Structure 1
Amino acid sequence: MNYIQQRRQTLTQSLKKHGVDAFLVTAVPNVTYLTGFTGDSSYYIATHRHNYIVSDARYEEQIREECTELEVIIRGHDKTTLEAAAEVLNKSGAKNVAVEGNRITVGELEQLKSLSPRITFVPINGEVESMRLIKDPSEVEQIRAAVRIAERAFQMFTATLRETDTEKEMVDALDGYIRRAGGRAPAFQPIVAVGERGALPHAPPTNKQLGEGSKLVIDWGVDLIYKCDLTRTIRSPFTTMPMRKNKYERVGVNFEEVYNIVLSAQNAALAMIKPGVKAKDVDAAVRKVFDSAKLRRGPKDVKLSDFFTHGLGHGIGLELHEAPRIRANSNDVLDSGMVISIEPALYIPGWGGVRIEDNVLVTHNGCTLLSSVARQLPAGVEQETEEAVE
C-alpha cells in the first residue's frame, strides 16, 4: 500500500473544504510526511491536479530517487526556494492558496504576498499535523526500528561505564553509540545526570563524575527520520548510596522507594491508555498516584506531585514532540494508532530525580509498549539504609 500517496490525496481533498486552489507546505517534517523526501530546504505544493516538490540542485538526485511520483522543480542558484515556489503558484493560476499558519513566518508570508500579488494566501493551522496524529503501519515500524537502535545503544553505553566518566564524556559516548548502533543521529542531545543533578529535568552535562553519585538519569533518543525518546534511571555501578565524600547529594531519601512510586505512576498511566480517553485524564492518573504516596524517609508534609514539574508525555514521530499532548491542560483525546511517550518523574532538589520514559502505541483496546528496556529495578537490589550526614 502506498501510504505516502494516500496522504497526498487526503491533503488534496482538503482543498475544497478550505476553499483554496492549492496548499503550500513549508515545514520540513510535513514535507517529508507528504513526499518521502528525507532532506530539507524544500517545499511541497498540492493543487487539484498536480503535486510539486520545489528544491535546489543539492538535492536533485536524491529527490529523483525518493520522490518518483512528484513533479520536481529545481530552482537556480540565483533565487530562493520561496521565490521558486511563488513562480509555480503564479503559473498554476491559483487564486487562493493555503499556507501553514502555525509554521510559516510573518516575513515569509509577507514576501509571498509581494511575489504573488494576485494570490490570496490563507493561513491554516495544523492541517498536516492532524493527519500525522494517527500513524500508519509503515510509520509504526519506523518508530519501532528507532527504538531497537536506542536499545542497542543503551546496552553498549551501560556496558562500558567507568567510575571516572564525567557527564560530558557519557553524553559524548552515548551519542557515538547511537550512531554506531545504526541511528542517523541522536534525536536530541542525550541527558546524563549524576546524583543530585537528576533533579534537573534537562540537566546540561558537566564534569561531575559517575562515581560521585549513587544514581544516574539517562534520557536518549534516536533519529531515524522517525524518532524515539526513552529515559531510564539506574543505580550507579560504583556507588550504591550517597557518600560522605559527595557533599552535594543529600541522603535520607530511599532510591528504591522513589523509583517504585514512579514506576507505579507509569503503570497507572499505561492501564488507562485506550481510544476515547482524554489525554489530561492520563496525566491526572499519574498525579493521583503521586498525591497518595508518602515517603517513609525524605521530605515531609509535601505532595509528591509537587516534584513532578512537567506534563506526562507527548506524541512522537517525525518530530520529537508532536501531538497529542499528554498534560493537564490538553484537549486531545487518544485514538488507535497514536504513538506517545509516557514519562512520569519525581525531581527532589538536593537528592536527585527518577524518570522512567517509554514510547507507547495506542491500540484498539489498550496500548503496547514499543520498548523492551527493563523498567523494574534488578531483582535482589538491597534497600538503602541511609543515615543523615551532617
Structure 2
Amino acid sequence: MVEKNQKIRDQMSKLDLDGLLISDPYNIYYLSGFQGLAPEERESWILITKDENYFFTDGRYVNQVKSEKLKVKSLQTKLVTPEKTIQMHVQMIAKKEKLEKIGFESGNLTYSEYERFKELVNLVPTDRLIVNIRKYKNQDEIDKIKQACQIGDDVLKDAALIIKPGLTEKNIAQKIIQLIEFHNAEAAFYPIVTSDSGSASPHYNTKQSSRKIQKNSVVLIDFGVKYQNYCSDITRIFFIGKQKDEIITVYQQLLEIQKSTINRLIVLSEAKMIDKFCRESLEKNGLPNFPHSTGHGIGLQVHEYPKISSSSCDTLSKNQVFTIEPGIYFPEKYGLRIEDTILMKENQLQEVLTKFPKEIHLI
C-alpha cells in the first residue's frame, strides 16, 4: 500500500494537487480492501493528502472497517452522517491541512455531487489517475488473475461436455455460472453464449435469448471468472457436427492472426500498433474488420486499461495484463472470435494465461 500511495502522491505533485478525493469503488478497494454491498449508494470515499490518508463511510460499515485489517495501515476512519456529510468532512480537513487544490475523479463523480463539493472546497478534475496506476499489477494481483484463468480453463473443459443440439444458449450460460461457483469464484460478467447468426453480434445478450443449439451450429462462448476480485476473460468457438469448408478455413485464418498478433507483442510496444497489425492481417487475408478493440486491460474490472485500439495512447509493458481478441463477423450468418488473457513480462515477452486449446473443437 505504501508503494501505491507514493505513486499517487507523485502524480499529485506533478498536477500541483494538495489532495485527491477518490469516489470510484474499484479504486477504493484497490487502495483499502474495502467493499460494501451497494457501491452505487456511495458507501465509502478516500481522501489522500500530502501526509495523511482518510477513509469515510457511514454507520452501516464503520464498525466493520475498524475490525478489519485494511490495506492502508495509517488510514483514519471518519463517520459520515446526515449532520456531518462527506462534503463537511473534506472541508474541515482542507482547512486543517490548508488544501487549496483537491483533485477528484472526473470520470466517476456525478455533476450533482460536484456541485455540492464546490460550494465548500476547490475541486480540480483528474483523468484516470489511479486507473493508470492499476495498469501495472503486483505479484499478488498476477497470481489471482492466473488462478481466475485456471478456473476458467477448467470450467470450459466441463462445459464443453454438455454442449449439444437442443440445449438453449441460456442453459449453457447458466451451467457455466454454476461451474464457476463450484470453484469458489464468481462470473466476472454474464456469459455470452451465442450460436449461428447470433454469434455475428459481438456483445450478444444471452440473458434475453431462447435460441437452441442446432445440429450444425457454430457456438461462441465468451466468459470471465472473478477470483478474489480479480478477473479473467476468454472466448472460444465450438463447432457442432460437420461444418462448411469455408467456415473452417476462416476459423484457421483467424487463429493464425490471433497467434501472430500475440507474437507481435515482442517487437511492438505501442498498443495502437498492435491493433493496426491485427486489422491489417485480416485485410491481407481478405477478411472483414471487426467493430471492437483488439484487446483491453483486465484486473479488478473486466475492461480496464491498457486499451488496445486504434485510438489508444497506451504503451504495453511489464506486469500489464490484457486480452487479445480479434473477431470476424458475417451478419445474418455467423461470427468467430478468439480471446486470450495475456501477461506481459520482461523484455516484451508474454505469457498466455488462458490455456484452453484453440484448435478446432468439433462436437
Q: TM-score, normalised by structure 2?
A: 0.89
Tell me, yes or no, if the aligned pair for 2:268 and 2:274 is still in contact at 8 Å.
Answer: no
**Aligned ranges 1:203-282 → 2 under 5 Å:** 203-205=204-206, 206-211=209-214, 213-224=216-227, 225-236=229-240, 239-241=241-243, 254-274=246-266, 277-282=269-274
Tell me, yes or no, if the aligned pair for 1:154 and 1:174 is still in contact at 8 Å.
Answer: yes
Tell me, yes or no, if the aligned pair for 2:58 and 2:79 is still in contact at 8 Å.
Answer: yes
1:34 aligns with 2:37: no
Instruction: Tell me, in whole angstroms, the C-alpha distance in 2 between the residues paired with 1:186 and 1:359.
Output: 16
Give, as a single letter, the amino acid of the residue that structure 1 aligns with 2:232: C
1:358 aligns with 2:360: no
**Aligned ranges 1:1-390 → 2 under 5 Å:** 4-39=1-36, 40=39, 41-64=43-66, 65-67=68-70, 69=73, 70-76=75-81, 81=86, 84-114=89-119, 116=120, 119-183=121-185, 185-205=186-206, 206-211=209-214, 213-224=216-227, 225-236=229-240, 239-241=241-243, 254-274=246-266, 277-293=269-285, 303-306=286-289, 308-365=290-347, 366-378=349-361
Instruction: Tell me, in whole angstroms, the C-alpha distance in 2 between the residues paired with 1:275 and 1:103.
Output: 35
1:22 Cα deviation from its structure 2 partner: 1.3
Instruction: Tell me, in whole angstroms, the C-alpha distance in 2 between the residues paired with 1:82 and 1:262.
Output: 53
1:77 Cα deviation from its structure 2 partner: 6.1
Tell me, yes or no, if the aligned pair for 2:21 and 2:102 is still in contact at 8 Å.
Answer: yes
Give, as a single letter, the amino acid of the residue that structure 1 aligns with 2:107: N
Aligned equivalent of 1:247: none
Count of aligned residue pairs for this structure pair: 351
Instruction: Tell me, in whole angstroms, the C-alpha distance in 1 between the residues paired with 2:15 and 2:175.
Output: 49
Instruction: Tell me, in whole angstroms, the C-alpha distance in 2 between the residues paired with 1:92 and 1:34.
Output: 22
What whole-Å deviation, never above 9, does each CA across 1:161-220 have from its counterpart, x for those lacking one? 34321112222222222222221x321111000122111111122111113552210000
Aligned-residue RMSD, C-alpha: 2.3
Q: TM-score, normalised by structure 1?
A: 0.83
Instruction: Tell me, in whole angstroms, the C-alpha distance in 2 between the residues paired with 1:87 and 1:19.
Output: 20
Instruction: Tell me, in whole angstroms, the C-alpha distance in 1 between the residues paired with 2:86 and 2:60.
Output: 12
Percent identity (aligned): 27
Tell me, yes or no, if the aligned pair for 1:231 and 1:356 is still in contact at 8 Å.
Answer: yes
Distance change in 2, residues 1:79/1:363 (3 Å): same
Distance change in 2, residues 1:177/1:46 (3 Å): same
| Rg larger for | 1
Distance change in 2, residues 1:80/1:186 (3 Å): farther
Unaligned runs of 5+ in 1: 242-251, 294-302, 383-390
Distance change in 2, residues 1:265/1:86 (3 Å): farther
Distance change in 2, residues 1:276/1:286 (3 Å): closer
Local SS of the residue matching 1:57: coil
